[in-house]
Amino acid sequence: MSNILTDRIKTALSDGRKALIPFVPAGFPDKAQFWDIIMELDDSGADIIEIGVPFSDPVADGPVVEKASIRCLDQGVNLHWIMQGLAKYRKNISAGIVLMGYFNPFLQYGLDSLASKAAEVGVNGIIIPDLILEEALPHLDQLQPSGLSFIPLVGLNTPQERMNKYSQTKPAFVYLVSVLGITGTKASATQLLRDKLKQVKESFACPAALGFGLSSKEQLEPIADLVEAVVFGSALIKHLDQGKTARDFMRAWA
């Protein structure tokens, strides 16, 4: 079954560019501005938009995202608020929508409720950084029939055998965390990343997205032939926190 997330990435590639996937924590920089920013990202060329579900213990996030998420939690942002907003605004958003968050908020919401509500409000995918494959598999039967693609995160230290197992879940795309374990010279780091991306391409039939630590198009040049999509979070959050517009940020990636 075709997924809008895969389709959006393929459409970008057919236009001769990488798919753009901005990440913003729900309610950032505040609840009043958040949906306007999502709409502006959509109008400015976002192919997929990742909405972060704030959580009190974001163990996989860097300091910028963690600080932003805590700020959103302090405003009372939760999954119910996100779903209410999507029910209102989703019909005007052409980008694919992915929820990225830790397992606890999804579990508290109820996975059956999550699946049905996601289908109702147009959520297309879900990323759960703290849910390993073995723990995720029993829940996929609840999520996938509603059209919710489970997007795996893989790192530079993820063995190919494990990536092969992730590929069996048939994700809409795979998300490679680019910075984990990169040490040494720029040249050696680039080669390490290229080697891992080649393994990703061997294991997955779906497109590959690269994220974590990206702040400019120039960073993609050494690996551009192996990446179909780019995810940016911290750089966008910093940009918005300075009072700058989402449109200006997206223009630099066009």
The catalytic residue positions are 50, 61
E-assigned strand segments in the chain = 19-25, 48-52, 96-100, 125-127, 149-150, 153-154, 174-177, 208-211, 229-232
* SS3 state at 254: coil
Residue 202 to residue 197: CA distance in whole angstroms: 9
> CB count, 10 Å around CB of 32?
9
Q: Give the strand pairing for 208-211 and 174-177.
A: parallel
CA angle 56, 231, 64 (to 5 degrees): 35
Return the DSSP state at 62.
-
**Residue 172 is which amino acid?**
A
* SS3 state at 48: strand
Residue 94 to residue 90: CA distance in whole angstroms: 8
* SS3 state at 78: coil
**The residue to which tokens 């913003």 are assigned:** 24
- Sign of the CA dihedral with 62 first, then 133, 102, and 47 last: positive
Both tokens of 53, joined, read: 């579900």
